[in-house]
Amino acid sequence: MSAKGNWLERAANEVLKGIDWLASPNGQKVVAAGETAAEIVFPPSEPIIAIVNAWIARITTVQAKASAAADLGATASDAQKATAAIAAVTPDVEAILQQYKLLPLTSEQYKAINDAVVKIATSLIPTPATPAA
């Protein structure tokens, strides 16, 4: 495999670790605490939090399906996974926007939110403990 392929594979694995950690019990505790604090300090953040939660749930599902397909020899590019995640989350987002009487999103906004949620998941990957010398 080329150096580029190795780099892309490592990057994809890091994103998966972030998504898995968000879905873990510890990840959910951290997320819930942050959401509670945000809602207390800035109540208008509730629809944002609801959208991000729905998005993370859909990204997790899409990634699990992509991993299962990869086990069978099929591959999905990041762009294909992003398209699938956006398609999966659109009904949820539209319902949340209607609930809070907010304007619909453009396709560019959907892509930007998807990119941001993937960055959130990636940035929350816990750093492994360094073994004691």
pLDDT single digits (tens) 29-69: 888 888 888 888 888 889 988 998 898 888 888 888 888 88
Q: Is 79 within a domain?
A: yes
Helices (H), 2-133: 3-23, 25-41, 46-71, 78-99, 107-123
Evaluate whether residue 1 is within a structural domain: no
Give the closest residue to 82 by CA, choosing from 115, 121, 104.
Answer: 115
Q: Is residue 34 part of a domain?
A: yes
- Give residue 93's pLDDT band: very low, low, confident or very high (50, 70, 90): very high
Q: How far is CA 133 from the centre of its chain?
A: 36
Structurally, how many domains does the chain consist of?
1
Range of the domain at 55: 7-123
Q: What are phi and psi of 47, to 5 degrees?
A: -65, -35
**Residue 57 covered by a domain:** yes
pLDDT of residue 1 exceeding 50? no
- Tokens standing for residue 128: 């492994």
Is residue 2 one of the residues assigned to a domain? Answer: no
Mean pLDDT of the chain: 82
Residue 104: pLDDT band by 50, 70, 90 thresholds? very high
Q: How far apart are CA 55 and CA 16, in angstroms?
A: 15
